[in-house]
């Protein structure tokens, strides 16, 4: 992996090339811990969002652990190819991202949670010490509200800028800087419309994700807002040992709205690993 020589305090941006020739970018912090026999925490962001949303996690966790956050292809500062927007390819990108590391706590948010599950289905769990799924459906009952995703896809096709602006503003409950929100909208539009829609249209039944989640053999933490609270309780019942946490006052990007609480939760989860 090649460093770009850019940093923000202890956070450094690096690049690597995927096996299909795409330059992928990621942020790393706590590099002094990378050679230690300790846990690595790897964050996978959600649909159209950049790795920089995890900045408070990287900054606050890196004094004691090696922490990384990936910009998936087409997002953040990664290259925007015209191909590869499938669950299988994005899971392969995660696999290649994690290859140098072991004892990884994989933290996937929203679409990143789904792609983390696909990674597990395709490549197994040897590199993982634990899994954290953040505010994403995992195939448990009840299913998310019918039709909402279809409405959003129609809005994207009709007026992409307006739909993305609404989406970006809706994922936070705390007040965010207007310029930062505008930058998130601009960044999301780097990806071609049809490719962004492909990421929301993976051709798997809900049972696919449920089976992977139930079969995960290591510690699992499911962190949700109220929209997935019922799924969380059902997962805990159907997969004994699952840890759950509900953020009732946060938006979809709950780790941005309540970073201190989220970071303490990740630290506690890490300390409790075998």
The pLDDT tens digits for 18-31 are 999 999 999 999 98
Which region among 5-14, 47-56, 121-130 has the lowest average model confidence (pLDDT)? Answer: 5-14
Provide the total of helices (H) and of strands (E) in the chain, helices listed first: 11, 9
User: In this predicted structure, what is the pLDDT of residue 81?
Assistant: 98
The pLDDT tens digits for 71-102 are 999 999 999 999 999 999 999 999 999 999 98
Q: How far is CA 110 from CA 69, 107, 153, 201, 253, in A?
A: 14, 10, 16, 14, 9
Q: 240-268 in b/e burial notation, b at 16+ Cβ within 10 A?
A: eebbbbebeebbbbbbbbbbebbbebbee
Q: How far is CA 256 from CA 6, 134, 138, 253, in A?
A: 23, 12, 21, 6
The pLDDT tens digits for 121-139 are 999 999 999 999 999 999 9
Q: To the nearest whole percent, how much of the chain has pLDDT over 90?
A: 90
Dihedral over Cα of 219, 228, 258, 178: its sign: positive
- For the chain, domains (ranges, CATH) are 2-145+205-271 (3.40.50.1820)
The distance of Cα 260 from the centroid of its chain, to the nearest Å, equals 18
pLDDT band at 32 (very low <50, low <70, confident <90, very high): confident
User: In this predicted structure, what is the pLDDT of residue 36?
Assistant: 66
The pLDDT tens digits for 235-257 are 999 999 999 999 999 999 999 99
Average pLDDT across the chain, whole number: 94
Task: Report yes or no: 16 and 8 within 8 Å, Cβ to Cβ.
Answer: no
For residue 187, which of 56, 51, 88, 8 has the smallest C-alpha distance? 51
For residues 150 and 1, the model is more confident at 150
pLDDT band at 274 (very low <50, low <70, confident <90, very high): confident
pLDDT band at 1 (very low <50, low <70, confident <90, very high): very low
pLDDT for 38 beyond 90? no
User: In this predicted structure, what is the pLDDT of residue 146?
Assistant: 64
pLDDT for 9 beyond 80? no
């Amino acid at each position: 992996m090649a460093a770009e020589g850019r940093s923000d305090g202890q956070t450094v941006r690096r690049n690597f090339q995927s096996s299909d020739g795409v330059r992928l970018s990621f942020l790393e912090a706590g590099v002094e811990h990378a050679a230690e026999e300790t846990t690595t925490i790897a964050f996978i962001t959600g649909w159209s969002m950049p790795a920089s949303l995890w900045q408070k996690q990287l900054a606050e966790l890196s004094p004691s652990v090696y922490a990384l956050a990936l910009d998936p292809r087409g997002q953040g500062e990664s290259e925007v190819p015209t191909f590869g927007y499938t669950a299988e390819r994005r899971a392969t990108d995660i696999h290649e991202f994690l290859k140098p590391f072991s004892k990884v706590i994989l933290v996937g948010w929203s679409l990143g949670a789904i792609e983390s599950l696909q990674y597990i289905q395709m490549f197994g769990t040897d590199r993982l010490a634990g899994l954290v799924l953040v505010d994403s459906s995992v195939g448990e009952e009840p299913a998310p509200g019918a039709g909402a995703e279809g409405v959003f896809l129609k809005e994207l096709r009709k007026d992409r800028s307006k739909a993305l602006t609404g989406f970006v503003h809706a994922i936070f409950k705390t007040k965010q800087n207007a310029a930062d929100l505008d930058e998130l909208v601009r960044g999301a539009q780097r990806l071609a419309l049809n490719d962004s829609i492909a990421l929301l249209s993976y051709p798997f039944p809900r049972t696919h994700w449920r089976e992977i989640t139930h079969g995960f053999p290591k510690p699992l933490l499911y962190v949700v807002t109220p929209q997935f609270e019922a799924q969380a309780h059902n997962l805990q019942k159907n997969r004994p040992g699952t840890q759950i946490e509900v953020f009732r006052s946060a938006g979809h990007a709950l780790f941005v709205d309540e970073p201190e609480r989220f970071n303490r939760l990740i630290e506690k989860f890490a300390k409790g690993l075998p």
